[in-house]
Amino acid sequence: MGSSREGNDVAQGNLKASQLERVQDLVARRTAGLSLEAPFYTDQDFFDADMKAIFGRHWLFVAVDAEIPEPGDTTTIDFGPYSVIVVRDDDEELRAFHNVCRHRGARLLDAGCAEIGNLVCPYHKWTYNTDGELMHAPAQAPDFDRSSFGLRTVHVRSVAGLIFICLAEEPPADFDEVAAVIEPYFAPHALKGAKLAHRTDLVENGNWKLVLENNRECYHCDGHPELIGAYFPVFAIDDDEDVPPNLRTTYERYRKTLAEMYEVYDRLGLPYEHIREVDTRTTGFRVQRDALDGAGESYTLDGTAACTRTLGDLPEKRLGYLSMHMQPNSWFHVVGDHAITFSALPISPDKTLVRTTWLVHPDAEEGADYDLGAMTKVWTATNDQDAALVARGQQGVTNPAYVPGPYAPSEHQVEAFVNWYITRLEEELKR
């Protein structure tokens, strides 16, 4: 009858045999060095496989603590066929539940943030507390056992103010290790207590993997005029020996600025080792600090800080940037005065919601301490530009004339993302 709260692995439903076979064939013949074949991006069978093997199994970044700071605050996140409520309970702990009433299955909360006392189903008033326990179901027979009908739980945890959930009954075991590595990078910026300055939801007309692949390379960054000025134009150079003559001056300026940054990081105790475990573990990630060009303080048009207060009250505002990638669905940028988080939430094979949040010092006041427009301009424009490119990618791979093409050297992170993804599917197919 499935009424127990144990065994709440919603992704355990099996794919149909015909679906599995198609996925298996294309996973088996995937060719390294080339982009994936079209069905991975366009086909409902493959989307179903992704929802099960990737979004049903792995830790997903879905929100920030700053969105739900108080007891009773909730944020409801929809992705693929799922909907998950994250709530801060009366003890200020995070809890997460599937957004489905245990009676006849009505949706409890709409997508977005809300404040609640208890979770009351709008249909027949079944009432759950913030621990997910069924407190009251009107007009039941005397033998009705409320304790069998608590909400189905979802794993949730915050790492330095970033909220991750996992639908699997047994989440990937390596997340503790990863959390321990990344927490020291983010903790000095105090995102947990930060203020949510802005949030945008952008529906991109492309498969979630095209959204991620687009994020994992700057080969296309000529298409981002607002963003490109922030970076030293040397990101394709991996080796000091290998600098093209026309970039030598720029490269020397970059190396000099980077050395200055390292001094700052050492002085402030900010970790900056570049750690790249993108496709070598289940919870793939990459974290680094690097210098920014220009004023070097922030993602603004001239590189100067957009907010007078630094995150974490750090005593310097020129910190370059802290960047993190997390598989399968997120990326992050932190500068001295603000942080930006990005979460890709699949909607259908050809649609993905990209949710972006901007975080600032908790005492910073809009208008007084920061100009929201100046602070959000670069990444809002960049998101819009990326959405147009992703849509063009989706249109192309839908064409029967598409054949997988070769990655350029500077697309090594795209290939690493794809490696990670294919490995996850292989693991799933073995189950």
Residues that bind a copy of itself (CB under 8 A): 1-3, 8, 10-11, 13, 31, 34-35, 38, 81-83, 98-108, 122-125, 137-141, 144, 149, 152, 213, 219-220, 222-223, 236, 389, 392-393, 395-410
Taking the least distance from each CB to a copy of itself, the nearer of 184 and 244 is 244
User: Least distance (Å) from a copy of itself to the CB of residue 403?
Assistant: 4
Q: State the Cα–Cα distance between residues 215 and 305, nearest whole angstrom.
A: 24
Residue 290 identity (one-letter amino acid)? D
User: Least distance (Å) from a copy of itself to the CB of residue 184?
Assistant: 34
E-strand spans in 34-101? 60-64, 73-79, 82-88, 94-98
Taking the least distance from each CB to a copy of itself, the nearer of 9 and 93 is 9
* DSSP code at position 192: T
Residue 179 identity (one-letter amino acid)? A
Taking the least distance from each CB to a copy of itself, the nearer of 300 and 383 is 383
User: Least distance (Å) from a copy of itself to the CB of residue 119?
Assistant: 13
Taking the least distance from each CB to a copy of itself, the nearer of 48 and 67 is 48
Q: How many CB atoms lie within 10 A of CB 3?
A: 9
User: Least distance (Å) from a copy of itself to the CB of residue 350?
Assistant: 13
Which residues, including other chains, have CB under 8 Å from residue 304's CB and lie 6 or more apart? 295, 297, 298
Taking the least distance from each CB to a copy of itself, the nearer of 108 and 178 is 108
User: Least distance (Å) from a copy of itself to the CB of residue 105?
Assistant: 4
Taking the least distance from each CB to a copy of itself, the nearer of 45 and 297 is 45
User: Least distance (Å) from a copy of itself to the CB of residue 44?
Assistant: 12
User: Least distance (Å) from a copy of itself to the CB of residue 205?
Assistant: 11
DSSP string, 126-179: -EE-TT--EEE-TT--TT--GGGGPPPB-EEEEETTEEEEE-SSS--TTHHHHH
Q: State the Cα–Cα distance between residues 167 and 187, nearest whole angstrom.
A: 26
Looking up tokens 């940054």, which residue turns up? 261
Burial of 284 (0-12, 13-18, 19+ CB in 10 A): buried
Q: Which of 173, 43, 25 shows the shortest CA–CA distance to 51? A: 43
Q: Which of 289, 370, 302, 366 shows the shortest CA–CA distance to 334? A: 289
Structure tokens at 255: 């190396």
Taking the least distance from each CB to a copy of itself, the nearer of 29 and 430 is 29
Taking the least distance from each CB to a copy of itself, the nearer of 118 and 280 is 118
User: Least distance (Å) from a copy of itself to the CB of residue 98?
Assistant: 3
